C-alpha cells in the first residue's frame, strides 16, 4: 500500500515516460476493442434486419436471431466496453499516479487470452451453447478462461494502483478503484452460478438480473464515469465544481446501483418484495444521477472558448447526457403506471441501449479517440474520418434509442388492448424495428470509419518502425567499419 | 489520508450487501421450494417432462427463442396478459421448478408461451410455425427454423414418408421432394406442448373470474385439477 506520507514517494515520471511505458498494453487493449466494436456492430445489424425480415439469412442455424442477439451483447460488453475500460484504467492509473506501468508483458498475454476466451464464448453462443440466462449467456467452457485472464489484468491494474507515486486526488481514481474492487464479485458470481453451482428455478433468473445490474453499474458504469470525471475537466479546462457532491454521488451510486436489477421482472414470478426492492432502488438512482449530472454539466457550460475544441469532447458530452437521461427514464419506468405499458416491450432494450451504447459506449469511444493518438504520439491520419465517426456514432445511438423507445410505447399500448390480435401489434412495431436497423447501419458505418483510421495509423507507425529498423540493420556498427 | 482502502472496502461492502440481499436471500427463500401435490391425482406439480420435451428445452435454449417470446403471465392488475387469454392465472416461482434454467424472456415480439401447451395441442400446427410461420399468419415476422427440417428427394416409385409435413401447395417443395422434421424439431414441439402453468394451488388461489373459452383456453374449474396433458 502506498504510503500516505508524500516525501517517501519517488518523484513522478514525465508524461512521455508514462506514455512510453503504457503504449504496449494499452494499445493492445484498444486495438482489440475496436476489432470487437466492428464485429459486434456487424452482428447487431444482422440481428436488427432479422427482426423485421425473417427471410434474411434464414438457412444457417448459427445466424438465428436468438443466437445473434446475445452474441452481439456479449461481444459489445466484454469485447468492446470492458477492454476499452481496462485500457482506460491502466493508462489513467499510471498517468494520475505518476508511475510507469509495471507488468506490461503479463497484461499483454492476459489480453490475448481474454480475447481468445471471448471468441470461444461468442462462437459458442452462435453454435447454440448459450446458458439461456439473460446477461450470463457465455457457455461454461469459455467463462473460466475469461475469469482467469480478466483476473490477471485486474490484478496487474491493482498492482499498478499500489505502485503509484502520488496519493489519490482525483474523483476518477475512486471510480476506477471501485470497479477493480467489484470485478472479483461479479466474475465469481457469473462463473460459478452459470456453470458450476447451478441454481434452481427462478433463483437463477434473479441472479442473472443481479449480475446484469451490477455489471452495468459497478463495472461498465464506474469505468465510464471514471472517463467522464477525468476527461470532462481535462478537455474543458475547468475543475469539477464540488468535491463533496462528487463524494455523495459516488457513495449513493454504490449503495443504490446494485439493487435495481429485478425491476426488469415487474409482474414476474418472484416474491413481491424482490420486485419492490428493484423498484425502490430504481427510483433512488435519481439521487446519484442528479448528483453526478449537477457536478459535471456545469463543466460543459464553463468550457474555455479560447481553447480549440477537443474532438473527443463530443463523445463525453453525449455520454453524460445519456447517463442522466438513463437515470431519469429508469426511475420513471419503475412505477406501476409506466410498467403497465412498457413491460415486455421494446422500451426495455431501448433503456438497455441508452445505458450500454449511449452512456458506456460513447464514453469508451471518447477514450479510444483521445488515448490512441497520445499513446502513439501522432494525430489521427484523417481528421475528417474522425469527425464523421463522432457525428455518425452520436446520431446512430440517438436514433437507436428513440426508435426502440417510441416503438416500445406504441407496442405496449397495443398489447393492453386485449381485443387487438397479436399479429396487429407486431405489425405496428415493424416500422420502428426498421428504424433501429437504420440506426445500427449508421453505427456500423461510424465504427468502420474508426477502424479504417486506426488501421491507417498503425500502418504509418509500422512503416516508420520498419524504416528505422532497416536503417539500423543496414548501417554497419562503428567497430565493423574499416578505419 | 490514504483513502484507497476505504473506497475498496466500501464498494465491496455495498456489493456484498446487494449480493446477500438479492442472491443469497432469494436462494434461501426459493432454492429449496418443494413441489406441490395435486390432490386429485397425487402427482407433483410442476409435472415432470418427457425425455423428448426435456431435449426440446435444450433446442429452445440453443435457438434463443426466449429473445422474442416470454414465458411469464403477469397478474391482471399489471397488464393485459390474462385478458388476452395467455393464461388463467399469473405465473409464480413454483411453476419453474423443473426448468433448467427458466427462460422467462423480457421482450414480446412474439406471443407469450407460458401456456402454449393449453392453447395448441396439434403437433402439425406447431411444426408449420417452425417451418414457416407465414403458412398460418401471412406477414408474420417469426424467423424460419429451416435447420430443424430435412428437405429430401422421395425415391422414385415410393410414396411420401408418413412423417413428411403436409404443407399447403404455396409452401410445398417441388414434386418429388418432401420436408421431414428432424428429431430436434419433434423434441422442440414436445417441449412447447409441455408448457402449461395452469394448475391452481394456494399461492395462486382464488383464480380470476372465468372467461369464455374463445381464446382456446379451457374454462376455469376452481379445483385442484392437474393440467390436462
CATH code of A59's domain: 1.20.120
pLDDT of residue A307: 67
Of A54, A70, A258, the CB nearest to B14: A258
Of B23, B107, B140, the CB nearest to A348: B107
Residue A411 lies in a domain: no
Residue B125 lies in a domain: yes
CA-to-CA separations, A173 to A92, A287, A363, A424, A426, in angstroms, rounded:
8, 21, 16, 51, 47
B58-116 per-position pLDDT tens digit: 999 999 999 999 999 998 888 888 888 898 889 999 999 999 889 999 999 999 999 99
Of B14, B93, B106, the CB nearest to A348: B106
Is a pLDDT exceeding 90 seen at residue A436? yes
Is a pLDDT exceeding 60 seen at residue A18? yes
Q: Is the peptide bond before B181 cis (omega within 30 degrees of 0)?
A: no
Residue with cell 477502424: A451
Residue A154 lies in a domain: yes
Is residue A198 very low, low, confident or very high in pLDDT (cuts 50, 70, 90)?
A: confident
pLDDT of residue A293: 95
Task: Verify whether the Cβ–Cβ distance B80 to A416 is below 8 Å.
Answer: yes
Residues of B in contact with A61 (CB under 8 A): 63, 147
Compare A462 and B216 and report the one with higher pLDDT. A462
Gap between the Cα atoms of A458 and A27, Å rounded: 10
Whether A300 and A317 have beta carbons less than 8 Å apart is answered as: yes
Task: Verify whether the Cβ–Cβ distance B64 to A344 is below 8 Å.
Answer: no
CA-to-CA separations, B98 to A225, B112, B228, in angstroms, rounded:
41, 19, 18
Domain at B157, CATH number: 1.10.760.10
Q: What is the DSSP string of A250-276?
A: HHHHHHHGGG-GGGGGTTSSS-HHHHH
The predicted model gives A138-143 an average pLDDT of: 93
A410 Cα to chain B: minimum distance (Å) = 13
Residue A69 lies in domain: 8-167
Is residue A68 very low, low, confident or very high in pLDDT (cuts 50, 70, 90)?
A: very high
* Burial class of residue A201 in the structure, from the number of CB atoms within 10 Å of its CB (0-12 exposed, 13-18 middle, 19+ buried): buried
Residues of B in contact with A422 (CB under 8 A): 84, 110-111
Query: What percent of chain A is modeled with pLDDT above 90?
Result: 68
Residue B22 lies in a domain: no
Residue with cell 418432401: B178
Task: Verify whether the Cβ–Cβ distance B30 to A343 is below 8 Å.
Answer: no
Residue A199 lies in a domain: no
pLDDT of residue B228: 46
Is residue A108 very low, low, confident or very high in pLDDT (cuts 50, 70, 90)?
A: very high
Of B74, B106, B142, the CB nearest to A264: B106
What is chain A's mean pLDDT, rounded?
A: 91
Residue B18 lies in a domain: no
Question: Which of A93, A132, A169 to mutate against chain B (most B CBs within 10 Å)?
Answer: A132
**Number of domains present in the structure of chain A:** 1
Is residue A196 very low, low, confident or very high in pLDDT (cuts 50, 70, 90)?
A: confident
In the three-class reduction of DSSP (H, G, I as helix; E, B as strand; rest coil), residue B179 is classed as strand
B84 Cα to chain A: minimum distance (Å) = 5
Whether A123 and A139 have beta carbons less than 8 Å apart is answered as: no
Is a pLDDT exceeding 50 seen at residue B183? yes
Whether A74 and A122 have beta carbons less than 8 Å apart is answered as: yes
Gap between the Cα atoms of A402 and B82, Å rounded: 30
Question: Which of B16, B17, B26, B45 to mutate against chain A (most A CBs within 10 Å)?
Answer: B26
Q: Determine how many CB atoms are found less than 10 A away from the CB of residue A476.
A: 8
B108-140 per-position pLDDT tens digit: 999 999 999 999 999 999 999 999 999 999 989
Residue A291 lies in a domain: no
Residues of A in contact with B97 (CB under 8 A): 200-201
Alpha helix (H) residue ranges in A237-380? 243-256, 272-284, 286-301, 313-332, 336-342, 347-353, 362-376
Is a pLDDT exceeding 80 seen at residue A327? yes
Residue B73 lies in a domain: yes
Residue B227 lies in a domain: no
- Torsional sign, CA A204, A206, A209, A213: negative
Which cell numbers in the block locate residue B218? 379451457
Torsions phi, psi for A342 (to 5 deg)? -90, -15
Query: What percent of chain A is modeled with pLDDT above 70?
Result: 96
Gap between the Cα atoms of A350 and A367, Å rounded: 24
Residue A251 lies in a domain: no
Residue B80 lies in domain: 35-215
Of B1, B9, B78, the CB nearest to A340: B78
Task: Verify whether the Cβ–Cβ distance A174 to B7 is below 8 Å.
Answer: yes
B151-166 per-position pLDDT tens digit: 999 988 888 888 999 9
Is residue B207 very low, low, confident or very high in pLDDT (cuts 50, 70, 90)?
A: low
In chain B the first and final C-alpha atoms are separated, in Å, by 69
Residue A153 lies in a domain: yes
Residue A64: partners with Cβ closer than 8 Å, 6 or more residues away: B63, B64, B143, B145
Gap between the Cα atoms of A70 and A134, Å rounded: 8
- Torsional sign, CA A243, A249, A250, A255: positive
The predicted model gives A181-208 an average pLDDT of: 89
Residue A33 lies in a domain: yes
Residue B165: partners with Cβ closer than 8 Å, 6 or more residues away: B124, B127, B128, B131, B149, B178, B179, B180, B181
* Burial class of residue B123 in the structure, from the number of CB atoms within 10 Å of its CB (0-12 exposed, 13-18 middle, 19+ buried): middle
pLDDT of residue B69: 95
What is chain B's mean pLDDT, rounded?
A: 87
A32-46, A83-97, A185-199, B4-18: least confident range = A185-199
Torsions phi, psi for A303 (to 5 deg)? -55, 125
**Number of domains present in the structure of chain B:** 1
pLDDT of residue B212: 55
Return the top range by mean pLDDT from A40-44, A164-168, A266-270: A40-44
Whether A461 and A27 have beta carbons less than 8 Å apart is answered as: no
Task: Verify whether the Cβ–Cβ distance A181 to B7 is below 8 Å.
Answer: yes
Is residue A4 very low, low, confident or very high in pLDDT (cuts 50, 70, 90)?
A: very low
Whether A186 and A147 have beta carbons less than 8 Å apart is answered as: no
CA-to-CA separations, A141 to A72, A125, A189, in angstroms, rounded:
19, 11, 16
pLDDT of residue A2: 45
Count of positions (residues) in chain A? 483
Is residue A468 very low, low, confident or very high in pLDDT (cuts 50, 70, 90)?
A: confident
Whether B160 and B54 have beta carbons less than 8 Å apart is answered as: no
CA-to-CA separations, A144 to A154, A187, A334, B160, in angstroms, rounded:
15, 9, 35, 49
pTM for the full model?
0.91
The predicted model gives A214-232 an average pLDDT of: 95
A349-389 per-position pLDDT tens digit: 999 999 999 999 999 999 999 999 989 888 999 999 999 99
Residue B97 lies in a domain: yes
Is a pLDDT exceeding 80 seen at residue A310? no
pLDDT of residue A261: 86
pLDDT of residue B1: 52
Nearest chain B alpha carbon to A275: B22
Residue B2 lies in a domain: no
Residue A346 lies in a domain: no
Is residue A346 very low, low, confident or very high in pLDDT (cuts 50, 70, 90)?
A: very high
Is a pLDDT exceeding 50 seen at residue A3? no
pLDDT of residue A308: 67
Amino acid at each position: 500500500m502506498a504510503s500516505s506520507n508524500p516525501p517517501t514517494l519517488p518523484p513522478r515520471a514525465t508524461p512521455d515516460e508514462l506514455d512510453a511505458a503504457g503504449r504496449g498494453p494499452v494499445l493492445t487493449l484498444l486495438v482489440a476493442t475496436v476489432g470487437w466494436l466492428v464485429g459486434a456492430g456487424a452482428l447487431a445489424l444482422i440481428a436488427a434486419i432479422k427482426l423485421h425480415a425473417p427471410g434474411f439469412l434464414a438457412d444457417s442455424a448459427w445466424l438465428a436471431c436468438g443466437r445473434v442477439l446475445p452474441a452481439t451483447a456479449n461481444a459489445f460488453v466484454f469485447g468492446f466496453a470492458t477492454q476499452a475500460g481496462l485500457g482506460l484504467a491502466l493508462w489513467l492509473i499510471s498517468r494520475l499516479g505518476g508511475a510507469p506501468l509495471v507488468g506490461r508483458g503479463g497484461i499483454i498475454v492476459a489480453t490475448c487470452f481474454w480475447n481468445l476466451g471471448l471468441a470461444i464464448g461468442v462462437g459458442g453462443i452462435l453454435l447454440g451453447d448459450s446458458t439461456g440466462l439473460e446477461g450470463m449467456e457465455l457457455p461454461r467452457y469459455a467463462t473460466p478462461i475469461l475469469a482467469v485472464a480478466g483476473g490477471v489484468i485486474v490484478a496487474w491494474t491493482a498492482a499498478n494502483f499500489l505502485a503509484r507515486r502520488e496519493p489519490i486526488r482525483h474523483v476518477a481514481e475512486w471510480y476506477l478503484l471501485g470497479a477493480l474492487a467489484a470485478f472479483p464479485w461479479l466474475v465469481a458470481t457469473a462463473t460459478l452460478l452459470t456453470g458450476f453451482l447451478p441454481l434452481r428455478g427462478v433463483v437463477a433468473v434473479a441472479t442473472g438480473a443481479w449480475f446484469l445490474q451490477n455489471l452495468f453499474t459497478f463495472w461498465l458504469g464506474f469505468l465510464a464515469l471514471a472517463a467522464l470525471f477525468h476527461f470532462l475537466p481535462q478537455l474543458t479546462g475547468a475543475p469539477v465544481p464540488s468535491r463533496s457532491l462528487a463524494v455523495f454521488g459516488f457513495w449513493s451510486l454504490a449503495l443504490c446501483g446494485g439493487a435495481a436489477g429485478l425491476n426488469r421482472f415487474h409482474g414476474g414470478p418472484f416474491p413481491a418484495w424482490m420486485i419492490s426492492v428493484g423498484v425502490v432502488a430504481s427510483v433512488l438512482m435519481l439521487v446519484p444521477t442528479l448528483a453526478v449530472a449537477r457536478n459535471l454539466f456545469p463543466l460543459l457550460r464553463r468550457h474555455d472558448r479560447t481553447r480549440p475544441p477537443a474532438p473527443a469532447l463530443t463523445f463525453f458530452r453525449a455520454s453524460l447526457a445519456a447517463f442522466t437521461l438513463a437515470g431519469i427514464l429508469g426511475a420513471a419506468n419503475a412505477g406501476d403506471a409506466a410498467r403497465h405499458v412498457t413491460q415486455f416491450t421494446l422500451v426495455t432494450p431501448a433503456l438497455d441501449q441508452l445505458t450500454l451504447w449511449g452512456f458506456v459506449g460513447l464514453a469508451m469511444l471518447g477514450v479510444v479517440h483521445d488515448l490512441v493518438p497520445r499513446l502513439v504520439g501522432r494525430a489521427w491520419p484523417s481528421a475528417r474520418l474522425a469527425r464523421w465517426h463522432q457525428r455518425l456514432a452520436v446520431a446512430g445511438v440517438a436514433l437507436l434509442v428513440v426508435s426502440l423507445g417510441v416503438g416500445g410505447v406504441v407496442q405496449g399500448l397495443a398489447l393492453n388492448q386485449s381485443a387487438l390480435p397479436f399479429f396487429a401489434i407486431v405489425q405496428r412495431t415493424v416500422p420502428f424495428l426498421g428504424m433501429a436497423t437504420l440506426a445500427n447501419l449508421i453505427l456500423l458505418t461510424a465504427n468502420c470509419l474508426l477502424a479504417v483510421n486506426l488501421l491507417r495509423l498503425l500502418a504509418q507507425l509500422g512503416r516508420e518502425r520498419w524504416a528505422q529498423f532497416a536503417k539500423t540493420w543496414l548501417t554497419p556498427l562503428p567497430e565493423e567499419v574499416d578505419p | 489520508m490514504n483513502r484507497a482502502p476505504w473506497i475498496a472496502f466500501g464498494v465491496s461492502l455495498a456489493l456484498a450487501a446487494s449480493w446477500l440481499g438479492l442472491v443469497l436471500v432469494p436462494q434461501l427463500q426459493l432454492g429449496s421450494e418443494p413441489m406441490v401435490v395435486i390432490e386429485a391425482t397425487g402427482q407433483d406439480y410442476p409435472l415432470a417432462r418427457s425425455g423428448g420435451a426435456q431435449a426440446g428445452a435444450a433446442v429452445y435454449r440453443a435457438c434463443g427463442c426466449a429473445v422474442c417470446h416470454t414465458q411469464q403471465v403477469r397478474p391482471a392488475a399489471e397488464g393485459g396478459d390474462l385478458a388476452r387469454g395467455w393464461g388463467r392465472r399469473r405465473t409464480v416461482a413454483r411453476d419453474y421448478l423443473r426448468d433448467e434454467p427458466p427462460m422467462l424472456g423480457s421482450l414480446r415480439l412474439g406471443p407469450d408461451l407460458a401456456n402454449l401447451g393449453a392453447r395448441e395441442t396439434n403437433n402439425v400446427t406447431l411444426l408449420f410455425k417452425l417451418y414457416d410461420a407465414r403458412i398460418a399468419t401471412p406477414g408474420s415476422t417469426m424467423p424460419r427454423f429451416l435447420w430443424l427440417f430435412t428437405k429430401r428427394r422421395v425415391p422414385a416409385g415410393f410414396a411420401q414418408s408418413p412423417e413428411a409435413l403436409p404443407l399447403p401447395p404455396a409452401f410445398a417443395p417441388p414434386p418429388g421432394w418432401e420436408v421431414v422434421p428432424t428429431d430436434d424439431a419433434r423434441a422442440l414441439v414436445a417441449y412447447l406442448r409441455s408448457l402449461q402453468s395452469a394448475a391452481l394451488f394456494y399461492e395462486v388461489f382464488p383464480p380470476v373470474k372465468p372467461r369464455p373459452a374463445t381464446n382456446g383456453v379451457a374454462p376455469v374449474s376452481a379445483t385442484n385439477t392437474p393440467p390436462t396433458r
